[in-house]
Amino acid sequence: MERVFVKPEVCIGCHLCAVWCAVAHSRSKNIIKAFLYEEPRPLPRVIVEERLPLTFALPCRHCAEPDCVFACISGALYKDRQTGRVVHDASRCVGCCSCVMACPYGCIILNNEEEEKKVLKCDLCAGLEFPYCVRHCPNGALVYGSTKGDCR
């Protein structure tokens, strides 16, 4: 399956991947409208780790054997057997954070902005043409492909 890989050495720490991730998951898909007017504010699902000069993004790797899915008490998280993606069905999520406890990469985020607590995770921009974080990285520090060798 195709997913996102990162190149820490060329990450400049601009956080545009996170900004555009939020846009991708906004209602308007418009960067200005999304950040100025949308309530609740759309949130990114990619984490940028930063201890300068070190910076790198750490998106969900859609594990072959996903610990988050194994830990999920509600069935909200599942591995799509066709696409290989680790999918989160928010309508089933109760915000218990078992997946936060289980993900070895810290890639599942509790959405604290909303009264009804649920988690957020990367869906590889499902329904959109191409992952926004990869498309908008100004320095090619995020790439998309099925193996490290065939990334775009």
Partner 1 sequence: MSAFEYLIIGNSAGAVGCVEGIRDVDQRGKIAVISEEKHHAYSRALIPYYLDGKIDREKIYYRPPDFYEKYGVVPLLGKKAVTLDLARREVELLDGERVGYGKLLLATGGRPFLPPIAGLDKRNVFTFLSLEDVLGIEKALAGAKNAVILGGGVIGLMAAEVLKKKGLDVFVLELAQRVLAPVVDETASGIVETLFAENGVKVYTGTTIKEVHGGDAVEKVTLTDGRTLSCDLLLIAVGVVPRVELVKNTGIKVNRGIVTDQRMQTSVPDVYACGDCAEAYDFVTGTSRLIPLWPNAYVGGRIAGYNMAGMSREYVWGTSMNAMHFFNLYIINAGINVTQENAGGYEAISKLDRDRKIYRKFAFREGRLQGFVLVGEVARAGILVNLMRKKIDVRGFAQALLDKNFGYKDLPDELRWQLLKDDVLLGVI
Shorter beta-carbon distance to partner 1: residue 1 or 73 = 73
Vertex 140: Cα angle to 55 and 57 (nearest 5): 30
- Nearer CB in complex with partner 1: 33/140: 140
110: β partners: 119
Contact set with partner 1 (CB under 8 A): 5-10, 47, 49-51, 54, 56, 58, 61, 67-68, 70-71, 73-75, 91-92, 94-106, 108-110, 116-117, 143, 148, 151
Q: What are the start-end ranges of the H helices in 43-109? A: 67-71, 98-102
> Shortest Cβ distance from residue 107 to partner 1 (Å)?
8
**Smaller CB separation from partner 1, 29 or 92:** 92
Q: Taking a C-beta distance cutoff of 8 angstroms, is the pair 83, 74 a contact?
A: no
Taking the least distance from each CB to partner 1, the nearer of 10 and 36 is 10
On whether the CB atoms of residues 4 and 143 are closer than 8 A, the answer is: yes
Nearest approach, Cβ of 38 to partner 1 (angstroms)? 23
Residue 112 CB, nearest distance to partner 1 (Å)? Answer: 9
> How far separated are the first and last CA of the chain, in Å rounded?
14
Taking the complex as a whole, how short is the minimal distance between the CB of residue 143 and partner 1, in angstroms? 7
Distance CA 53, CA 34 (A): 30
